[in-house]
Amino acid sequence: MNTQPDDILKLAVMVSGGGTNLQAIIDSVADGRIHDTRIVRVISNKKDAYALERAKKAGIETKAVARTDYKDREEFDRALLAALDEAKPDLVVLAGFLVVLSKEIIRKYKGRIINIHPSLIPSFCGEGYYGLKVHEEALKRGVKVTGATVHFVDEGCDTGPIIMQKAVNVEPGDTPEILQKRVMEQAEWKILPETIDLIARGCIKTGDA
C-alpha cells in the first residue's frame, strides 16, 4: 500500500559490498541534502554485504536475493524483479551492485535505474571494469585525471545516458586503493546523492525518455 505522499521519491538501492555509496545516500537524506526522498528497500545479492548492516542501522527494510538460493539464473532474475516490484520504487539506484540486471528488469524500469561508476565514462568501463580494477587500469594508462560517473542503466554495460560526472586528480605515488578512496570521497559520495536530489526535485526527468 502506498503510504507515501505523492511527492516523495521512493528509492530501492541495490548493493553487493561495503555500502559506502548507500551510506552517502542515507546521510544525505537524513541531513536534507536530498529532498523529498525515502529509501524504501535495500536489496543485495550478498547475504553478508556490510551494506545490509548499514541499512538495518538506519531502519531501512532489507532483502537479500542470493544466486545460490535459486536453481538457475532465470529464477534468480525473477526473484530480483519480485524484490524490486514489492518495494514499488520510483527510482532504482545501483550502488556498487555487481550483478548484471536482466533485460526484463531494465525494460520494466526503463529510464528509472541509475548507476554509479568509478571512472569518467567512456574511459575504463564496460565488461570486467568494476571496483579496484578500474583504478588499476587508470594508473596503468597513466591518466592525470579520473573521476566518477552517474548514468542511466540501459541494456549495455555502462553504456546508458550520462547524467553527472566529477573529475578527481591522480596524484604521484597513488596506489589503486588510495585512488579508489579519493574517487569515492571526492566524487562518488557527492554526485550520486546530488543526482538523486535533482531527480527528487524534478530537475532531471526519469522514465521512458
Dihedral of CA atoms 197, 129, 20, 32 in degrees, nearest 10, equals -10
Q: Choose one: 6-14, 16-24, 85-93, 136-144; the region binding ligand GRF (CB under 6 A).
A: 16-24
193 lines the binding site for ligand GRF (CB under 6 A): no
| Alpha carbon distance 148, 187 (integer Å) | 6
From CA 205, how far away is CA 175, in angstroms rounded? Answer: 38
Q: Which residues from 142-161 bind ligand GRF, rule CB under 6 A?
A: none
* Residue 9: DSSP 8-state: E
176 binds ligand GRF (CB under 6 A): no
Q: How far apart (Å, rounded) are the C-alpha atoms in residues 26 and 52?
A: 12
Does residue number 19 form part of the binding site for ligand GRF (CB under 6 A)? yes
Cα–Cα separations (whole angstroms), residue 60 to 11, 23, 38, 39, 101: 11, 12, 9, 7, 22
Q: Which residue stretch of 28-36, 39-47, 63-71, 110-118 sits at the interface with ligand GRF (rule: CB under 6 A)?
A: 110-118
The one catalytic residue among 35, 117, 135, 151: 117
Among 14, 51, 84, 114, binds ligand GRF (CB under 6 A): 51
Which burial class, exposed, middle or buried, applies to 201 when counting CB atoms under 10 A from its CB (0-12, 13-18, 19+)?
A: middle
The SS3 of residue 187 is helix
135 is catalytic: no
The neighbour count for residue 191, using CB atoms within 10 Å, is 20
Q: Is 21 in the site for ligand GRF (CB under 6 A)?
A: yes
Return the range that interacts with ligand GRF (CB under 6 A); candidates 27-35, 76-84, 116-124, 155-163.
Answer: 116-124
Among 25, 28, 96, 158, binds ligand GRF (CB under 6 A): 96
Q: Is 118 in the site for ligand GRF (CB under 6 A)?
A: yes
Shortest reach from residue 119's CB to ligand GRF, in Å: 9
**Interface residues toward ligand GRF, by CB under 6 A:** 15, 17-21, 51, 95-96, 116-118, 130-131, 184, 188
User: What amino acid positions are annotated as catalytic residues?
Assistant: 117
